[in-house]
Chain A
């Protein structure tokens, strides 16, 4: 494949192609799906955190109006294990036995004629528990600890020697509260059996994984499972697993022999679809007097359920961050009686960055070097360790362009030295890097006799703009107007695509579209190979170009004909081709993900401990930007989430293991009044590791925001807060 030249490849801030549908309320989200004769399910969840169910009395519920079935561990059939995925072993399926491992564990599912009947009957189930002591504290010495859970621990050089040789050592511990993803769209499942075929509408970011999981669990061929999710009301990682409630709903549909719908309640969203685990990190930095890093030791500990897996790679990116000869990473997981965590936007990386970038800020004060200058001195010009050149890296530009837009030069370094009236003013910054991630992806494209293209793949758009960007990209690569391209995704019957996760979908799907477009052009040229009437006869792809649906000779644009003309003359309804990408790290270079630098101004009312964000400037290297508007939305949306992580968000467990704030009234996410003007600017060049040169942008926007805020708080107040969220009691 040849790289596409930089002059094209869109960038236009096209409005969302699915915007009108969403604004009119016509986009079918999973919770909107209805079938004739559909029944409704409601979950019953445990009210203890550890123990066993000693009795479960469903008689009253079964006799309640409209009830069709009550599923408990006593009456459901044995189901097969769900398969492993890239994220590890599947979530524990709770109704297999009488054991309770966390508060809010599903213990029964009630199916009834209406959702009201199901919910009412769910309250009539009487459960007796045999309670055992629950382990709920990350510091509990009785909690089982898993070391090096993913085999990702690493060491380069000799950290102990490096620390011993350092002029300055910073050794600090950082903690971050558990958080909950909280997409606005409540997760919903609608399951329908047609004989032995299963159709599931579900809130998932990964239809292909879900299809395989359901096929394995119900013992049917993968082709007999169809997963549909054309629209999704957000997920932020919560849709990367097939959760037990989805399997239960499919099981219920089979048992009652009707379509069944389950919509989780907001409190159930806190216990049923994962959360960002609580973390404790220790960072040891050793540096010379000039601030050059000589050693970096990073230990990350996160919480996890008692029996499950979760990939929370807090320290994974650390070795590649800075040019430092001696780096070691250590990972631990502590098993608690909590709902199992799961991915939440930039899992691991968001937390790891907070510790490293806060520690660097401390180092900058210890050695008296400006935070940006400190980072420039330690900039990883090539990939540390391998010494390979990056496929792209504009982190340096991120620092400089961001600093300039922000007005960093006006900052006086001394903490507490800037004021506005009675408020303390603080400027803080942090760098960010996200790792490269790409997975196999396929796409199918047809061009029909009406001259329009139909692009399809089992990818998803969780609100990120997949529809829009794929439309634009296909339009450009096929030489069509945006309005003549239709993208169909969110259906596991379409060619397999990876999850929208790990910031890896667009790079995978985009390059698959690129591959398909090249094949399409070849297919049209092949079609006219022996066609006397075609001015394109016998030409090679590099001799032609396509503009507004017309293929013409590069050398003579007047010689050409349209897709439609070719199809009509040859009696073809359409030409269909497949595109594919099999990711390989590029030869001779280190594949780079996105980079960013965030700059934050805070205001602190010291008497009241009130912290407000005054402005944020983010400079981001996302490689080639396909659509300024959707790209900016990813950055600003993630920044808002970073503000939440820094100031507000905290999933609180009470001594019974119950989440004490599992509502939107009690779990605070930022509202408009918390969010100032957010300025995002894109820098850098197309990435050289793939033909289309893009890098994933979905997660880098949150990475670095909490550290930049905490660093600004230190600058404003002189207080170093190493614990998130930074609530007012910590600033009083």
Chain B
């Protein structure tokens, strides 16, 4: 992770990737962590990770979800339902889904390529199935298309602790602005989704719209449509929207 963040092309053309990387974990961890491992990291949900908790549909399909009725803060509000609210906690993936990265997979039966946006699978009623990787398959490569020259991008991570902490909410954005109007937009959310959350509807609202707070707020509303909340995660609905507005303000230059 640390190596990728220091790559000259990433520095120059993909600030959103670099920022997502550098806001992840700690330097020591990033020195060791691989990109494949980051994409495939398991959720931090403490109900999933603590084997003494009986109810976890991800660990034991059909056993229920203790997080839905227990204290939950670092949990998902998008792509979530009463079966599972475990967050996909990767920062890197949030930036990569925004960029339409492709994942190259090698299996015993050959190679295939899937878009990262289709790689992780929403829990539905099978939270134990987390991605499309089949038995015997590994990730060999990740392709990240470069953003058109003139596009500005960035990543915002909001968390209780100033460093070394997963996101409560985060947002990756890339905007190409022409004459005060958004010509092209990419937007994805982190800390709120059961999978890295691409916000296509918000991108549609942004595209062709004037660069102003009204546009950004409308995009934010669209990005956090139909959330599933429990008492501990209710605040994340508004926080995620404000995170989106802020990153759009920053990337568009409305706010420095």
Contact = CB atoms under 8 A, between A and B. Distances in A.
Given A422-B255, A658-B52, 17 more contacts: A267-B50, A607-B245, A609-B239, A653-B71, A654-B71, A655-B70, A656-B53, A656-B70, A660-B47, A666-B44, A671-B164, A673-B161, A674-B161, A728-B158, A732-B235, A732-B238, A732-B239
Interface string B47-71: 1001011000000000000100111
Contacts of A672: 163
B70 A727 contact: no
Contacts, number: 70
A202 B43 CA distance: 36
A612 interface: yes
A668 interface: yes
Interface string B221-256: 000000000000001001100110110000000010
B126 interface: no
Contacts of B245: 607
Given A610-B158, A647-B160, A47 B246 contact: no
Given A655-B70, A661-B46, A608 B161 contact: no
A11 interface: no
Contacts of B53: 656, 658
Interface string A636-657: 0000000000011000111110
Contact of A660 (B70, B168, B239): B70
A655 B44 contact: no
Interface residues of B, number: 27
Contacts of B204: none
Nearest to A612: B162
Contacts of A267: 50
A731 to B, nearest CB: 10
Contacts of B235: 728-729, 732
Contact of A727 (B66, B160, B162, B242): B160
B165 interface: yes
28 contacts: A607-B242, A607-B246, A608-B158, A608-B239, A608-B243, A610-B158, A647-B160, A648-B161, A652-B71, A653-B71, A654-B47, A654-B70, A656-B66, A658-B50, A658-B52, A660-B46, A660-B70, A660-B71, A663-B46, A670-B161, A671-B162, A671-B163, A671-B164, A673-B161, A727-B160, A729-B235, A729-B239, A732-B238
A673 B70 contact: no
Interface string A407-424: 000000000000000100
A674 B164 CA distance: 10
Contacts of B74: 666
A668 B71 contact: no
Contacts of A607: 242, 245-246
Contacts of A668: 160-161, 165
Contacts of B246: 607-608
Contacts of A25: none
Nearest to A607: B242
Contacts of A652: 71
A655 B230 CA distance: 14
Interface in A665-695: 665-666, 668, 670-674
Contacts of B163: 671-674
Interface of A: 47, 267, 422, 607-610, 612, 647-648, 652-656, 658, 660-661, 663, 665-666, 668, 670-674, 727-729, 732
A607 B243 CA distance: 8
Contacts of B52: 47, 658
A671 B161 contact: yes
Contacts of A655: 69-70
A671 B162 CA distance: 7
Contacts of A674: 161-163
A597 B162 CA distance: 26
Contact of A728 (B70, B71, B160): B160
A42 to B, nearest CB: 15
Contacts of B243: 608
Nearest to B51: A123
B239 A728 contact: yes
A673 B238 contact: no
A672 B53 CA distance: 33
A607 B239 CA distance: 8
B80 to A, nearest CB: 18
Nearest to A103: B52
A597 to B, nearest CB: 26
Contacts of A663: 46
Contacts of A728: 158, 160, 168, 235, 239
Contacts of B164: 671, 673
Interface string B148-166: 0000000000101111110
A672 B255 CA distance: 27
B55 to A, nearest CB: 10
Contacts of A656: 53, 66, 70
Contacts of A610: 158
A654 B162 contact: no
Contacts of B242: 607-608, 732
Nearest to A664: B164
B234 to A, nearest CB: 8
Contacts of A658: 50, 52-53
Nearest to A104: B52
A665 B166 CA distance: 9
Contacts of B66: 654, 656
Contact of A673 (B44, B47, B162, B168): B162
A267 B51 CA distance: 12
Nearest to A123: B51
Contacts of A732: 235, 238-239, 242
A422 B245 CA distance: 15
Nearest to B163: A673
Interface in B100-115: none
A47 B158 CA distance: 34
Contacts of B46: 660-661, 663, 666
A119 to B, nearest CB: 13
Nearest to A728: B160
Contacts of B238: 732
Nearest to B233: A729
B255 to A, nearest CB: 7
A481 B52 CA distance: 57
Contacts of B162: 612, 671, 673-674
A729 B165 CA distance: 17
Contacts of B69: 655
Of A610, A654, A670, the most chain B CB neighbours within 10 A belong to: A654
Contacts of A647: 160
